[in-house]
């Protein structure tokens, strides 16, 4: 879910498709560099070289390294939280939570570097994140907690604190990306495989849902 607006292929102009493709490539290359070197150690010139664009062209899309870094953080948040965007009081709590955990774990498996960028930003004080998590994001968060409150009030799930439940969902699913080296060392693995992630996902779904008084949905 890149920041550029998505336009159906049948109506999108060639220039628009090229712009979106370049933005996606730039953000992907930036994630690699920010994950490897952090914000201070990352060079816009290196990102431009990795994408195959002149540095001047890179500045056409993102005027500064700070702006590109903010775009990377926003892209991470949009990908993470997209699974919760359609959450409503009519949603089935067990299915909604299970779907979110699966989506978030799959994102951690496929894009671990993006998760580590976010973790490093938070650990370093979250100065840039403070500019990203504005009133709109706070309103989005309140909207999610309100749905949980309605579920609890109607007896659909156990009375847990919605905010802390969301924090638990965030932290537990990101753990497998941010602390994979620790997990591998204590379990004797060389790396985490898709099977490892699938097993972890099933366990998180069982633990979290049962803690909310819910029965994990059966999978096909």
Q: How far apart are CA 64 and CA 70, in angstroms?
A: 10
- Any domain includes 24: yes
Domain, as residue range, for 97: 73-211
Residues 53, 81 within the same domain? no
Alpha helices in the chain (DSSP H): 14-41, 44-51, 55-61, 65-85, 93-110, 112-123, 127-132, 135-153, 162-178, 180-187, 194-211
Q: Which pLDDT tens digit goes with each residue over 100-156?
A: 999 999 999 998 988 889 888 888 888 888 887 888 889 999 999 999 999 999 999
Is the confidence at residue 13, as pLDDT, over 60? no
83/105 Cα distance (integer angstroms):
12
Calculate the dihedral angle through the C-alpha atoms of 208, 210, 213, 214, rounding to the nearest 10 degrees.
90
Same domain for 174 and 121: yes
Task: Compute the 3-state secondary structure of the chain and give helix, strand, coil in percent, each to the nearest 5.
Answer: 75, 0, 25
**Per-residue pLDDT tens over the stretch 181-191:** 999 999 999 99
Question: For residue 7, is it within any domain?
Answer: no
41 and 88 co-located in one domain: no
DSSP 91: S
- Note whether 182 and 86 are same-domain residues: yes
Q: Does position 11 have pLDDT exceeding 50, yes or no?
A: no
DSSP state for residue 216 in the 8-state scheme: P
CATH code at position 18:
1.10.10.60
Instruction: Tell whether the model's pLDDT for residue 3 goes beyond 60.
Output: no
- Rounded to two decimals, the pTM is 0.82
How far apart, in whole angstroms, are the C-alpha atoms of residue 196 and residue 188? 12
For residue 163, tell me if it sits in a domain: yes
- What does the mean pLDDT of the chain come to? 88
**Same domain for 59 and 129?**
no
pLDDT of residue 153: 97
pLDDT given at position 5 = 30
Q: What is the total count of domains within the chain?
A: 2
Same domain, yes or no: 118 and 58: no
107 and 158 in a single domain? The answer is yes
Do 29 and 117 reside in the same domain of the chain?
no
22 and 96 fall within a common domain: no
Together in a domain, 50 and 81: no
Res. 219: pLDDT tops 80: no
Which pLDDT score, from 0 to 100, does residue 129 have? 85
- 66 close to 129: Cβ distance less than 8 angstroms: no
Does 143 share its domain with 115? yes
DSSP classification of residue 64: S
């Amino acid at each position: 879910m890149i920041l550029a607006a998505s336009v159906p292929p049948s109506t999108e102009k060639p220039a628009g498709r090229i712009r979106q493709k370049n933005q996606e490539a730039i953000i992907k290359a930036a994630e690699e560099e920010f994950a490897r070197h952090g914000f201070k150690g990352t060079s816009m010139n290196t990102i431009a070289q990795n994408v195959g664009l002149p540095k001047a062209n890179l500045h056409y899309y993102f005027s500064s390294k700070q702006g590109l870094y903010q775009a990377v953080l926003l892209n991470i948040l949009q990908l993470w939280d997209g699974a919760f965007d359609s959450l409503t009081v009519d949603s089935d709590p067990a299915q909604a939570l299970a779907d979110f955990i699966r989506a978030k774990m799959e994102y951690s498996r496929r894009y671990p570097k993006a998760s580590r960028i976010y973790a490093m930003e938070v650990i370093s004080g979250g100065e840039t994140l403070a500019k990203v998590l504005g009133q709109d994001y706070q309103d989005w968060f309140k909207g999610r907690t309100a749905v949980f409150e309605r579920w609890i009030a109607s007896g659909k799930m156990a009375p847990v604190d919605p905010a802390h439940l969301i924090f638990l969902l965030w932290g537990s699913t990101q753990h497998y990306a941010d602390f994979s080296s620790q997990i591998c060392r204590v379990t004797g693995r060389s790396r985490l495989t898709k099977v490892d992630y699938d097993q972890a996902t099933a366990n998180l779904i069982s633990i979290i849902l049962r803690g909310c008084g819910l029965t994990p949905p059966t999978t096909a």
